[in-house]
């Protein structure tokens, strides 16, 4: 396969310009200004398009096993491919949870047949009960790429310390959902204007601040590589900023919805904008963007969280939290961050591919000779309106928005897995 006449950006090396890329099997074999291959080759005209590494989304829910009415591994992978994502790291809050080698094997085996790279975390605790650690070493040996009880905060500090010590020994990341329930009454809605609008208690920013503070301290003491997931408050961003000056193993991720929306969206869109942690105030949104600009937040991840239309049609206090994100994440990054002047395209791609791949020790997120043939072609000027989704779910407030930056082709492992 020969990709010709595109404008290439490799966020890892910083190399960019007009290059041809020759792919043989699942590897890139040559990158040069002009390539004239011998023999039979499939030519792809990339003139006018940006050629970038496949995106790496390290916070995704495919709901499989256990909740496949919402999504399954096949439909989730198709949504990823459409969004330019060639590698996903799945969260472990399935049913059964990923606390056994059997469930882990089921996910990896099914994921291997999808056309994209499906990896998964295993749980930190058995059944996500927060009481007993899983056999982290055994799960790592069986193919888990990291550990998390995402969806449920870990409240036992001593247990968290032990988990961090084991993950540090394994040199694997451990990711944290930072919401202390003692500061929450009716989660998914910010305590403030939005909770007052609905006449409910809502989620205080203290819920995030308290656990972020604790886990940053523990990470510094144990040397564990940690990821503060879906950061939402200005205070948490600042805590991470200061901790990163002292410790290189601390990472944080932001979602497209947290850098795009505020709690006003919950008033406008109702349950479609209900998520954990909730959308907060404009000051928080701006703090998240500043964190992305200065490297405090070093990854963008979707927290793709599909739910059925019936579930989201319930009242605000009963509907589940979460929105889908795989099919709109890159366009939101281009529209809200690049076009708005906060980031360059190279910086955005680094946040969405190179950095997350590096934290999880994945061979992904870059374009180089000998590297993986995971490549996306993007029309950065194309405007489109999200209306039809390949995900089973449509629970997103971004339906009907005018977004910029459309994925035209997704190549994974040297094979075309999506074409617009």
> Please, what is the Cα angle at 59 between 187 and 382, to 5 degrees?
105
> Please, what is the Cα angle at 325 between 319 and 326, to 5 degrees?
140
Beta bridge partners of 24: 27
d(C-alpha 220, C-alpha 249), whole Å: 8
Using DSSP, state whether 226 is helix, strand or coil.
Answer: strand
Asked about 109 being catalytic, the answer comes back as no
d(C-alpha 36, C-alpha 238), whole Å: 51
Using DSSP, state whether 356 is helix, strand or coil.
Answer: helix
Tell whether 109 is in a known binding site. Answer: no
Tell whether 258 is in a known binding site. Answer: no
Exposure of 367 in the CB half-sphere (CA atoms within 13 A): 34
Contacts of 341 (CB under 8 A, 6+ apart): none
d(C-alpha 174, C-alpha 63), whole Å: 20
d(C-alpha 188, C-alpha 208), whole Å: 12
Tell whether 307 is in a known binding site. Answer: yes
Tell whether 230 is in a known binding site. Answer: yes
Measured over all CA atoms, what is the biggest interatomic distance in the chain, rounded to whole angstroms?
Answer: 69
Catalytic residue among 57, 72, 149, 303: 303
Number of CB atoms found within 10 A of residue 278's CB:
32
Tell whether 177 is in a known binding site. Answer: yes
| 193-199: Cβ within 8 A, 24+ apart | 193/263, 193/264, 193/267, 193/281, 194/263, 194/264, 194/266, 194/267, 194/278, 194/279, 197/266, 197/267, 198/316, 198/317
d(C-alpha 124, C-alpha 130), whole Å: 8
Tell whether 187 is in a known binding site. Answer: no
Tell whether 117 is in a known binding site. Answer: no
Q: Which positions are annotated as active-site residues? A: 303
Residues in the annotated binding site for Zn(2+)? 59, 61, 150, 177, 230, 303
Residues in the annotated binding site for substrate? 61-63, 93, 276, 307
Residues in the annotated binding site? 59, 61-63, 93, 150, 177, 230, 276, 303, 307
């Amino acid at each position: 396969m020969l990709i010709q006449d595109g404008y290439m950006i490799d966020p890892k090396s910083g190399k960019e310009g007009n290059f041809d890329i020759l792919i043989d099997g699942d590897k890139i074999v040559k990158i040069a200004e002009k390539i004239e291959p011998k023999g039979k080759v499939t030519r792809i005209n990339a003139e006018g398009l940006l050629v970038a590494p496949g995106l790496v989304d390290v916070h995704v829910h495919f709901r499989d096993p256990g909740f496949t009415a919402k999504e399954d591994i096949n439909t989730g992978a198709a949504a990823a491919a459409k969004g330019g994502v060639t590698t996903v790291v799945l969260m472990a809050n399935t049913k059964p949870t990923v606390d056994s080698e059997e469930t882990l094997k089921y996910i990896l085996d099914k994921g291997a047949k999808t056309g994209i790279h499906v990896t998964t975390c295993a749980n930190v605790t058995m059944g996500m009960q927060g009481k007993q650690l899983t056999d982290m070493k055994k799960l790592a040996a069986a193919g888990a790429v990291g550990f998390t009880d995402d969806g449920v905060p870990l409240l036992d500090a001593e247990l968290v310390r032990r988990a961090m010590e084991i993950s540090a020994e394994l040199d694997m990341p451990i990711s944290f959902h930072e919401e202390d329930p003692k500061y929450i009454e009716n989660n998914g809605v910010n305590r403030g204007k939005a909770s007052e609008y609905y006449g409910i208690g809502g989620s205080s920013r203290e819920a995030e601040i308290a656990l972020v503070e604790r886990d940053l301290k523990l990470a510094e003491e144990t040397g564990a590589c940690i990821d503060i997931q879906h950061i939402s408050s200005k205070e948490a961003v600042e805590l991470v900023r200061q901790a990163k000056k002292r410790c290189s193993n601390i990472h944080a991720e932001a979602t497209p919805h947290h850098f795009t929306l505020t709690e006003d969206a919950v008033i406008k869109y109702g349950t479609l904008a209900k998520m954990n942690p909730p959308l907060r105030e404009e000051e928080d949104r701006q703090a998240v963007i500043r964190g992305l600009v200065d490297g405090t937040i070093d990854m963008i991840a979707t927290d793709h969280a599909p739910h059925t239309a019936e579930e989201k049609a319930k009242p605000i206090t009963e509907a589940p939290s979460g929105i889908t994100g795989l099919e709109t994440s890159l366009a939101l990054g281009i529209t809200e961050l690049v076009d708005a002047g906060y980031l360059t395209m190279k910086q955005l791609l680094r946040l969405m591919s190179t950095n997350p791949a590096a934290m999880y020790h994945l061979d992904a997120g870059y374009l180089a000779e000998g590297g993986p043939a995971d490549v996306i072609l993007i029309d950065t000027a194309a405007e489109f309106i999200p209306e039809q989704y390949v995900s089973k779910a449509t629970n997103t407030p971004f339906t009907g928005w005018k977004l910029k930056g459309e994925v035209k082709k997704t190549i994974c492992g040297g094979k075309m897995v999506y074409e617009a």
